[in-house]
Structure formats: C-alpha cells, structure tokens
Amino acid sequence: MSTQGYEEELRSERGYVAELYTRLDAERARVRREYTSALRGTGGTHMERDDQVRASAREMRRLDVADTGLCFGRLDTLSGESSYIGRIGLFDEENDYEPVLLDWRAPASRAFYVATAAFPENMRRRRQFHSRGRVVVDFTDEVLGRPEGDARGDAALLAAVNAPRGPGMRDIVATIQAEQDEIIRLDHPGVLVIEGGPGTGKTVVALHRVAYLLYTQRERMERHGVLVVGPNPAFLNHISRVLPSLGESDVVFMTTGDLVPGLRVTAEDPPEVARLKGSLKILDVLAAAVADRQQLPADPVPIELGGVALRIDAETAEWARDEARASGRPHNEARAVFAEIITYVLTERAIGRISKGWLNRSDREGWEQTRAELLKDLADDDKFTATLDDLWPTLTPESLLGSLFSSPDRLRAAGGDPVLARADGDAWTVSDVPLLDELVDLLGRDQAIDQAAERERKAQAQYAAAVLDSMHGRADSMDDEDHLYATDLLYAEDLAERFEERDTRELAERAAADRDWTYRHVVVDEAQELSEMDWRVLMRRCPGRSFTVVGDLAQRRTEAGARSWGTMLDPYVPDRWKYRSLTVNYRTPAEIMTVAAAVLADFAPTVQPPESVRACGVVPWSRQVTPDGLTAAIDDFIRDESTREGTSIVIGPPGIPGVVPASETKGLEFDAVLVVEPDHILSDGPRGAAELYVALTRATQRLGVLHQGPLPQSLAGLVELHPSGHNT
C-alpha cells in the first residue's frame, strides 16, 4: 500500500470507529435512562423493579468497559466482505440489527485469532488497529493465504508483551494467539486443566475463557456466577480488573483461606502440619472428634420430675446416643433424637411412679396430659438442659476444631497426630479452612436458632400483611368526607413486599456470604498448591463440576499439593476432565528464561521449559555483596528502577526488610526483578528450588541477583558484576 493509500485508509478507519463510539454513547444514554426510570419507578413489585435495576446496571457496566479499545481489528473475506472486531457487539437497529461490530467472543470472530498464512479460514486479510483513547493511531495488515505471510499478530503481540507493566494484569483480547483461542473456546462441560510454565498466559487465558462462557451460556450461568480461586490476595488484586474490563462482573474472587464466610485467613502451617490437614485421612479424625463429644455420664445424673427422683444413667444415654447416630443426621440435628429418647424414658418412669396404678395406659387422654405437663417441666429444668449440653452439646465448627487442636487429650482420643496440637486453638491457618467447611456438614445447623429466626420472619410478614389489610379495609369503609392518601397504601404494600423472599445485594456479595452457594463455574489458579481437602471444598461449591484448572506441577511448593492432576480429579470427575498445555512463554525474555531453565533442570529434569517468544537484549546479572552492603545494594536497585517506566520488586527469603517472599509473587509479573540471597531460598524447605524458579521468572525485562555467599551452581550463567556494579 502506498503512503497516500495508507493515509486514506487510516482516515476511513478513523471515521468508522468514530461512528462506533457515537453508537456506543447513544446506547449508554438509553440504558442510563432505563436505569434511572427503574430507580424512580412505581409500577410492578419491588422484586420486579429490583430485577430491572440490576439488569440496567449490568448493561451500563458492559458498555462502560468498552470505552478504551472498543474496536481493535477488522477481517476481510475472500468475497470482499468486512467485519470489525471489538470488546462488545454493536448493531444497526435501523437495518435489521445488522452487526456493525462483532463481539470478540462471537463465532464469527474466531478467524481473527486462528487464521494463519497456511490456513486462512476463508479470510483475505486481517487488520489490527493501534488506538490511543478513542482515536485510531495506525494499523497493520496481514495478508492471509500466502505461504510467505508473516506469523499471526507478531507486531501487535510483541508491542503488547514489551509494553511496561502497570498495577494489574491486562486483558489480551486484541492479541489472543491461536493456541490460546482454542482453549478459550473449547466446548467441554467438565473440568479443563490448563498447564503451562511461567509466562505462558495460562491465567489470562482462563479468565478470557470465563468471559467466553458467560457470553455463550449467559442464561445458565448468570444467576449463580463464577468463582475464581487464587493463591493470595495480591494475586487476586492483580487479576481482578481483567473480567470487568471484558464486561463481566458476576464473579467472586477468593483465596482458599476465604472459602468459609466470615473468615479471611492467610497464616500458613508448617509443611508437615499442612500435609496432614490436607490429606483426606483427616476426615476420620474430624468424625472421631465429633463422636467424642457425644458422651455417656460417668455417674448417673439425678433429675427430679413431678416430685419423683429419677436418674439419667449410662444405659439410657447409650440407647439415646445409638438412636441419634443411627438417624444419619448431622450432630446438631441429631441432638433432637438424643433428647427425645432421654425425655421419653424420664417421663415414662415418672408417670409410672406418679400414678401408682390409678393412671392406666388405656386412659390415653389422661396419660398424654400428664406427659405434656412433665415435658414442660423438663423444658424449664436448667439442670436437665445442662445435662443435655454436657452429653450432646450444640457445636460450631470453630468451637469443635479449636478445642480439638488445643487439647492433646481430645486430639489423642480422635486419633490425630500430636503434631497438630497448638496452644491457641483459634489461631486459624489456611489449612484449617477446608476442615471448618467439612464440619459444617458433619455438625449441621443449630435447629433452635433456625426455628427462632423463622418465627421472627413469619411474625414480621404477618404484621406487614395485617397493616395492608387494615389499609384496604379503611379504604372500603370510608365515606365521601374521609381521605386515605395514596402514600398510606404504598407504605403498606412496601412493608408487605419487604418480607418477600428476596435479596437486594449484588450476586458477588450474596455468593461470598453464603457457604451453601453453588457456582456454575469455578476457576482455580495455581491449582498445583491445592490439597485433597481443598478440592473437596471446591467440588462442594460446584455440583455441576464445571472447572477451569490452571497450574504448573513443576512450581508446586506445598507438600499437600498435587503431584499429578489425576490424583486430585479422578475421585470426582474420572471421565470428565481434559488436559491442555501452553508451551510459548509470552512474559519472560529468552535471556532470563535461559537462567531459570537451568534451575528447573536441577529439580525437575523431565520438565520442558516454555519457549520464549522474544528476547529483550538485556543480560541478567549477579553481584556479590558484603553483609553491610546488602541493604545499600537493594536501595540502589529501587532508586534506579524508580526512574524507569513500569514496575519492579525485590524477592528473597523472609526476614530481610523490603524483600517479598517468592510465595507471595506467584502469578505476578514485573518489568524488573531483584532476587536476593538465592542460596537461602534454595535451602528454605523441600520446595526451595521451585520458589527460586518462581522468583526468577517474574521479570519481563530486567533481572538482577544479589548474594553474599557463593552463587548456586544453577545460576552460573549470570554475568557477575564487580562489587562496584560494573562488569567483571
């Protein structure tokens, strides 16, 4: 294309994109009017108005995210037709709703990502736009169907991966590669495992897959939403902008420490303790701990009933306990069976002694009346209630687990390893969370509390209905001189509707607060770190078993984590999980990946490192410092990087001021990384090499290493700088 021809095409494309923004603004204005009308509206019920407000709010969010990069490409077919590709779909209402912009997730957009010179997908040309704000700055064309054609999207891809990093992960909607697009659009209803080394884009691919599923299965998924589970809060904050940038907000972000509502746990157990708690063998310990709280009296407990001295003996309590356990109910719910047997025995014995033969069982009415009076007496008897609490206490997951870990005797009785004991039973760790979740099912709910809440709700609803009936009654009986204002009836109707079964919170807020909430799809990142007990919790959260699982077995750092995907998944979905791998490293330049690959070869020699798509031209370096010079060298790095565009971080073993442990950087990326004391990282536990591998592969441009002792042999490929900071 000549320079003049290019400029004419550029003006034309700018004009078309400007028209798209005009349509976007008009659509925004229309939806905002609908939203405002729904907020102020009085027609329909509260529930109907709430639904309209939520629908309009979702649509506003969808349109708002499209302001930047609304249209990023164009496809031209062999027959001369053109389609524009963008973040959302826009349609011409005056022309039979013809699409003027295709959503990137639409089937017709697929060729934009997968067409190649060898396999053009019936396309003649792919055009990619580079925009600043709302204006197209320039474009690049790729002519398809020619064997000598360039590789797909090299210019746009390299521009994206070389760009300085910001505070959060960016979407890749404009530069999705063919191997990534295949995974994003994969039609598989079960569990999809995406494995890839550092920098292969597995996390962002999983998030785009969520956006694709929400687009293609909106009706099935939007009422239950999607759960995204990540390794730590920093990681979740890093990725939290991707899905909203794609117009999706019905997503809940959690770590495994957040899976029980009301808890936000980040503390970790020592490796051996975490391994024990993460194994399914802990289920036997939990069941035994519950059974241990279902006691028999050491000595008969005296109870006075109807003026008669009675006793709750071990034989009676054992019968009641056997019946309660045989009911199959959770502990707290089975308490009712236990209490029923105890009260039956006591009232039968009391009636028999009270009547002295004058009250016969054939006198059913008299017998039942006497029994009712005795039952009331037992209900009011504090000693009887206290005895029930001793023999079959109402328990919470926190009270049972806390007392188990803080009592060596209870732990021994439950068959738990002594290493699980701790002084503060309530000092929760991440490994405790799946145990607490399991105990929710083992213990069940406190029926007395549930029944009281239900009685309160019914009383409020009855009051509201009575107010409404009263208002309507007044209206019917009024003469011409009486007045009943419309606001009176509206107040009464509002009061009645307030007690309908509805919840005005956003889906993500409701789901995060409800332990029994079930999701339509779950994304698990850094999944190699999850234990068997963690998987048990997540499978409980998603009965449909629809998962996108992202991880890299070579980066596993916890003893409780996965050594193979089948070990974790086969118990739940033996025939419903598929494996896909990503092999191209889009983040780590070849110079840095060469260094990291040497570390990988030491601890996982059978694992093939991902191939970097680019080189950065900057050589990774190492520098030996004295103990007194370590802090100054770190400060030098921070000062130098503060003058550059992008992000940086110092990674190293815990305990050094200003240094972040490698475990807290998993899934993150930075323009520059300084790794401090790699030999200390290697020596920190059995997975130290994996930690060092993670640390080295966080950098997208520049990598430096500071060390006081000898440099580990696996890092011999680094260029050693003179203590002054110059090449030796």
Annotated binding site for ATP: 196-203
- Distance of alpha carbon 694 from alpha carbon 357, whole angstroms: 83
- Distance of alpha carbon 514 from alpha carbon 12, whole angstroms: 52
Q: What is the sign, positive or negative, of the torsion defined by CA atoms of 553, 554, 558, 564?
A: positive
Task: Find out whether 585 and 197 touch, Cβ atoms under 8 Å.
Answer: yes
- For residue 561, give the 3-state DSSP assignment: coil
Strand-strand pairing, 123-132 and 71-77: antiparallel
Residue 492 tokens, joined: 């009464």
Nearest to 103 by CA among 114, 90, 122: 90
Q: Which of the 8 DSSP states describes residue 685?
A: S
Under the phi-then-psi rule, with left for phi > 0, alpha for psi from -120 to 50, and beta for the rest, what region is 188?
Answer: beta
Q: How many residues does the chain have?
A: 728
Q: Cβ-count burial of 503 within 10 angstroms (0-12 exposed, 13-18 middle, 19+ buried)?
A: exposed
- Distance of alpha carbon 694 from alpha carbon 600, whole angstroms: 10
Q: Which of the 8 DSSP states describes residue 89?
A: -
List the alpha helices (DSSP H) in 380-505. Answer: 382-391, 397-406, 408-413, 433-443, 447-477, 486-498
Nearest to 527 by CA among 517, 516, 538, 519: 538
Task: Find out whether 629 and 712 touch, Cβ atoms under 8 Å.
Answer: no
Task: Find out whether 468 and 495 touch, Cβ atoms under 8 Å.
Answer: yes
Per-residue b/e over 48-64, b at no fewer than 16 CB within 10 Å? ebbebbeebbbbeebbe
DSSP letters for 226-257: EEEEESSHHHHHHHTTHHHHTT---EEEEEGG
How far are the Cα atoms of 402, 527, 604, 716 from residue 555, in angstroms, in the given order?
Answer: 32, 10, 10, 21
How far are the Cα atoms of 5, 16, 108, 691 from residue 123, in angstroms, in the given order?
Answer: 21, 21, 11, 45
Task: Find out whether 411 and 421 touch, Cβ atoms under 8 Å.
Answer: yes
- Distance of alpha carbon 314 from alpha carbon 521, whole angstroms: 50
Amino acid at 717: G
Residue 550 tokens, joined: 């992202």
Provide the annotated binding site.
Answer: 196-203
Nearest to 153 by CA among 208, 111, 185, 203: 111
- Distance of alpha carbon 491 from alpha carbon 250, whole angstroms: 32
- Distance of alpha carbon 99 from alpha carbon 309, whole angstroms: 86
- For residue 331, give the 3-state DSSP assignment: helix
CB atoms within 10 A of CB 5: 9
- Stretch (H or E) spanning 394: none
Per-residue b/e over 442-467, b at no fewer than 16 CB within 10 Å? bbbeeeeeeeeeeeeeeeebeebeeb
- Distance of alpha carbon 673 from alpha carbon 704, whole angstroms: 6
